Amino acid sequence: MKKNEILEEILKEVDKHPEIMSRREALKFLSVSPLAASLLAGTTVGTSAISASTVKGKIVIVGGGLAGMSTAARLNNTITNADITVIEPDPLSVSYQPGQTLVAGGIWDKSEIVYKRDDKLPSGVKLIKGSVTAFDPDNNKITVDSKEEISYDQLIIATGLTLNYGAIKGLSGEITSSTTDNAAVKEKVGVNGVHSIFFQDGAAATWDGIQELIAQAKAHTGEKKLQAVFTHPDTPIKCGGAPKKIMYLTHARLEEAGVRDKVELTFYANGKDMFGIPEYHEAILEQFKTRGFKWNYAHNLTGMDTDAKIATFNHHWTEKGAWDEDLEEFGVILKSENVNVAYDFIHITPPMKAHDVVGKSKIGSNAGWVPVQKESLQHVKYKNVWCLGDVAAVPMGKTGGSVRKQYKVLIDNMIASMEGKTTLPAAYGGYTVCPLITGIGTVMLAEFDWSQKPTPSFPLDPTKERWIWWLLKVYALKPMTAIGMLSGRA
């Protein structure tokens, strides 16, 4: 890799919009951002702190997305004469998923986030263009496409997750790859006011849907406002801030078009707060109030009538029950009701789960995810099985920023295990970063870990929306990810 290649890619992005900032201004920003500086330093040839190892063993990585391919690259940089195989069927598996929000907001074109798997395969790493259909961890084997058995000494699971649209009554299909046709899902999602940014075509269709909503609002003369609805489900999801990001961007585009007063924007969350970190929850709540958003907690989307444009939510709550003489406390009664909500535009965040072949196998768990020791990322039962990314059963941690921390920990620990060490040297502390887009030109950079407190990389109040973080999100993070992480150096 050329020296400072990542910097040149950032500056190319800047050059596309000279009216926003110059190269000089961009360089000044990058020089004062510790987060950017650390990533740039780690992706410059000759500056990486990776230590070489001569361990031997066949390493198989299931999943060639950002988590899997970045891990393969760093392993390749770390182990001399490494024997690494990546198994991945999707030819566009490394596409830049965080950019789908910006595609949906009309900031980027879909073509700007598409990357070919084969272009990002590290030199010397073998690729099997197939799908794992069975796991046999007791015998250190997996089966590919129901016919080819592959053995391993170390197994890394980086399969990502499934977008389970079919779990919502009235919709159908699951998405295991954002970049494939996904025809069953697209029968109802991406048309007639129903949208979702969580797959590439869905993101592009969402931008079309926002423009359609604007056109409706311009033609709208009734007293009752048009209804734009945004949902957050009852399962863990990738990028927990995404359902709000697209709401903020929709608001910004409506304001830009002069029709914000004709549309009511309402957020329906299954949980009881806006964000799991109290400081960020309070900040988002104030942002919602300032923008005139409405919201309802404890509402989970369960059904859709896309012809009538009615969404059905399960509204759930608890009530105090009878006194328990033995426990000396009141019982808790779970209550719920169905609530029908009319919409003109709805953005759906689907329920998410591990791929069935993973979650229902011996390496899965009752909850479906891959159970690992949350600090070491080593499987709780099979000591030569490791997991990272969206499919790992760790608190939080379903973002690209999480993977940037996880893959280094996993590799250090796996190599130590291969060397016969009984103590694993590295620990993942739960670091997660969510660049929460709050408008066109503003981002709140929410960084946190398992302490459930803000952990900012920069000496600024992390609860404030800032233009500087917009620059990081729009110009810097894509090159840092596509070049830095996928080279194994960031």
Q: What is the pLDDT of residues 388-431, one digit of tens each?
A: 999 999 998 899 999 999 999 999 999 999 999 989 999 999 99
* Per-residue model confidence (pLDDT) at position 19: 63
| Count of beta carbons in the 10 Å neighbourhood of residue 284 | 25
Determine the pLDDT at residue 45: 36
Give the C-alpha separation, 65 to 71, whole Å.
Answer: 10
87-119, pLDDT tens digit by residue?
999 999 999 999 999 999 999 999 999 999 999
What pLDDT is stored for residue 48 in this prediction? 41
- Residue 44: its pLDDT value, please? 43
- pLDDT at residue 1, as a whole number: 42
Q: How many residues does the chain have?
A: 490
* Catalytic residue IDs: 239, 434
Q: What's the CA gap between 52 and 79, in Å, rounded? A: 6
Q: Write down the pLDDT at residue 125.
A: 98
Segment 372-397 shows an average pLDDT of 96
DSSP string, 222-274: SSSPEEEEEEE-SS--SSTTHHHHHHHHHHHHHHHTT-GGGEEEEEEESSSSS
pLDDT at site 328 = 82
Decide: 217 and 226 in contact? Cβ < 8 Å. Answer: yes
| Calpha distance 488→327 (Å, rounded) | 54
Task: Please give the model's pTM, rounded to 2 decimal places.
Answer: 0.92
Domains with residue ranges and CATH for the chain: 5-161+354-487 (3.50.50.60), 165-352 (3.50.50.60)
Q: What type of residue sits at position 288?
A: F
Angstrom distances, CA of residue 259 to CA of 216, 225, 227, 468:
10, 10, 13, 28
Q: What percent of the chain has pLDDT over 70?
A: 93
Joined together, the tokens standing for residue 367 give 């909850």
Q: Is 170 left (phi over 0), alpha (psi -120 to 50) or beta?
A: left
User: What is the predicted pLDDT for the residue at 80?
Assistant: 93
| Range name among 171-175, 282-286, 325-329 with the lowest pLDDT average | 325-329
Beta strand pairing status for 329-342 and 58-62? unpaired
Q: Average pLDDT of 294-311?
A: 98
pLDDT at 334 over 60: yes
Whole-number Cα distances in Å, 383 to 66, 153, 242, 373, 416: 23, 10, 34, 10, 12
Query: 324: pLDDT confidence band, cut at 50, 70 and 90?
Result: confident
- Please give the pLDDT value at position 31: 67
Mean pLDDT, rounded, for 210-229:
96
Indicate the Cα dihedral angle 207, 213, 217, 218, nearest 10°: 50
**Residues 436, 246: Cα–Cα separation, whole Å:** 10
pLDDT in tens, 8-50: 777 777 777 676 667 777 777 666 655 565 555 554 433 344 5
What is the SS3 assignment for 338?
strand
Rounded CA gap, 387 and 401, in Å?
16
3 state DSSP class of 402: helix
Average pLDDT, rounded, for the chain = 92
Residue type at position 8: E
- Strand residues in 293-328 grouped as ranges (E): 294-296, 299-305, 310-324
pLDDT attached to residue 62: 98
Crossing angle of the two packed helices 278-291 and 242-256, in degrees rounded to 10: 20
Among 143-152, 191-200, 315-324, whose mean pLDDT is lowest? 315-324
Question: What order do you get walking across the sheet with 299-305 strand by strand?
Answer: 299-305, 310-324, 329-342
Structure tokens that stand for 108 in this block: 């980027």
Please enumerate in sequence order all residues whose Cβ is within 8 A of that of 373, keeping only pairs 6 or more positions apart, or say none.
380
Contact 477, 469 (CB under 8 A): no
